[in-house]
Structure 1
Amino acid sequence: MWFGSMAAFDQAVSPTISVAVMSLAIGVLVGYLLSVRWSKSKEVVRPAPSAHEARRSTLYEKRQVILRRLQNDLDMLLENQIEVRNLMSTQVVRVQPGRNVAEMRRLMTTQHLRHLVVVDETERAVGVISDRDLLAVKDGIAADIMHAPVMAISPQSMLLPTVSHMIENNISCLPVVEEDRVVGIITTTDLLLTLQSILRILQMERISRSGGVVPEKEYADCMI
């Protein structure tokens, strides 16, 4: 099975995964609660059922990618050596500083986005815009409302300090940059999906150690 040696797992799982899970859980939940509290102060337009289903499908696919990566390298999880490149989204939507608010709203709605990365003519990240930023204004352009300078990290950045950085700076996303090029983005949603994947791995390990068997389809389809 993908779990490897049960004996080795038993010896390492308690101290290491517990610390990793708790650190990640605290970081993600704080970020999530801050986001929810802010959002409640603004008028929220709920997506149509079709948009909701499309987003759910996207999240499911992303969760499965993270889950497979963690499954395939349990040592990375046990040793708390998860790098940002294992979790980040690589489909980053970029906009120019002159893009207007109405266009960015349509872009976020049609592509089910929460963040846009503003880039200059050389494709270097110069700012970040969230859906909350767009809710706070009626018109304008990206250069007027973007958060700058950009707080960015590398693909090799470790997860734990990345979470700490996001909490300390009260931000919900970080562009991932390599050689001045935007190669990805990591958000609080990615962190929640990672936490969900870790909990799922622990759940499967507990069932396995108790002698139970979980059907493959149930394992693949479950959304905790």
Structure 2
Amino acid sequence: MGGSREVQISGYKLIIHEGDGTVDPSTGRALTGSWLWDSAVYLAEWMAACGGAQLAGATVLEVGAGTGLPGLLAASMGAARVVLTDVGQLLEGLRASVAANGQGARVEVRELRWGEAAEAADVVLMSDVFFDAEEMEGLGRTMRAAWGAGTTGWAATEVRPGVGECLEALKREGFEATVVEESVRSLMRTAASQTPEEGESSVFALYRISRRLP
């Protein structure tokens, strides 16, 4: 699936660009971040319902943004500045979404690989980043650079095998993930197939991420 889709989150209407044929040049495999996934929608819906007070006037960083739905919603909800980050191959799609929503004045798109330093933020957003425990060391380094005394992190993920291992690895990097809620949701798409079976669902979790005290 390529092109753009309109996504309605509560009272907010956003245009999200998706790109077919975006590949990782080192592996030749499709970059799944070029498509909109259920975890990003789940995080965005939770933000619209519960996150308004913390987003208003905030500096927001989305790590592993993919198509950028949560970050774009943060801008619509009153964040003063939003930085959407991902690997270089996904930046064109992110910029297309920023332009389609007229958010260029407040939303910036940057390349950021995990392990590199990110600028400080009030709120850090992540969806579907808990897929490989070996990647958590780099993610932890990036998060430590972004984290200040008052920083809050929110992350959503489909509860797949390996998520617990990722959270334990992230804990070793100095971050605690506390479950805010879990929800069984009908799937929009699956990793194995772009079109799930009718009625196919999965469990998703929303976490609050905090820096652990030494």
**Alignment TM class, shorter chain as reference:** under 0.3
If each structure's helix is expressed as a fraction of its own residues, which one has the higher value?
Answer: 1
More strand by share: 2
The two structures have a TM-score, normalised by structure 2, of 0.23
- Whose radius of gyration is greater, 1 or 2? 1
| Structure of greater relative contact order (alpha carbons < 8 Å, 6+ residues apart) | 1
**TM-score w.r.t. structure 1 length?**
0.23
